[in-house]
């Protein structure tokens, strides 16, 4: 049995998928996951297809050290964006160098978990709630003073 990060999700209204120790860049995958978090399925799929064709860019917020600037990040409110989650243990490989030397050749894989849930049923507001306006205490005071001075 796989242990998921989110446990309080109704299984009848959700679908889950999980990949562990995937050899993809952790930093790029984290930024992509944060970009599509909370989106509807159709928009997320279109966004990922647009990223693949380089018509939309993934906003780089946390791991943006050597990321160049692009105008495609304006829609997310960032100047740094790029086209290309929990971090998995680093995988060790070797690269063989001249004169018998060996250096590490590390990779930074990640665990990816996607949870898709049905949206809540939207209930229309009643007429009484829609017509009522919300006033702050300052606005209520202004209206009360106007009522007193005009009377």
Report pTM: 0.52
Decide: helix, strand or coil at residue 145: helix
Element of type H or E holding 41: helix 41-52
Written as one string, the DSSP assignment of 54-65 is: TSS-EE-SSS-S
Distance CA 73, CA 78 (A): 5
d(CA 151, CA 142): 14
Residue-range domain boundaries for the chain:
12-120
CA distance 144 to 91: 69
Instruction: Give domain 12-120's CATH architecture.
Output: Alpha-Beta Complex (3.90)
Task: Give me the torsion for CA of 41, 113, 47, 31, rounded to 10°.
Answer: 140
How much is the pLDDT for 83?
47
The confidence score (pLDDT) of residue 98 equals 94
Predicted local distance difference test score (pLDDT) of residue 84: 45
Q: What is the mean pLDDT of each run of 10 residues along the chain (151 residues)?
A: 68 80 78 83 86 80 63 63 60 89 85 78 75 83 88 69
Residue 138 is predicted with a pLDDT of 92
């Amino acid at each position: 049995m796989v242990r998921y990060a989110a446990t309080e999700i109704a299984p009848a209204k959700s679908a889950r998928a999980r990949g562990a120790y995937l050899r993809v860049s952790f930093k790029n995958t984290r930024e992509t996951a944060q970009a599509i978090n909370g989106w509807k399925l159709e928009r997320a799929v279109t966004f990922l297809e647009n990223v693949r064709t380089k018509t939309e860019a993934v906003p780089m917020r946390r791991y943006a050290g050597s990321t160049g600037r692009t105008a495609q990040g304006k829609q997310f409110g960032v100047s740094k964006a790029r086209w290309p989650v929990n971090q998995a243990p680093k995988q060790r490989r070797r690269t063989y160098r001249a004169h018998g030397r060996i250096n590490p050749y590390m990779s930074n894989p990640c665990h990816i978990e996607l949870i898709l849930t049905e949206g809540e049923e939207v209930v229309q507001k009643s007429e009484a709630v829609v017509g009522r306006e919300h006033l702050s205490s300052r606005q209520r005071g202004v209206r009360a003073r106007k009522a007193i001075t005009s009377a």
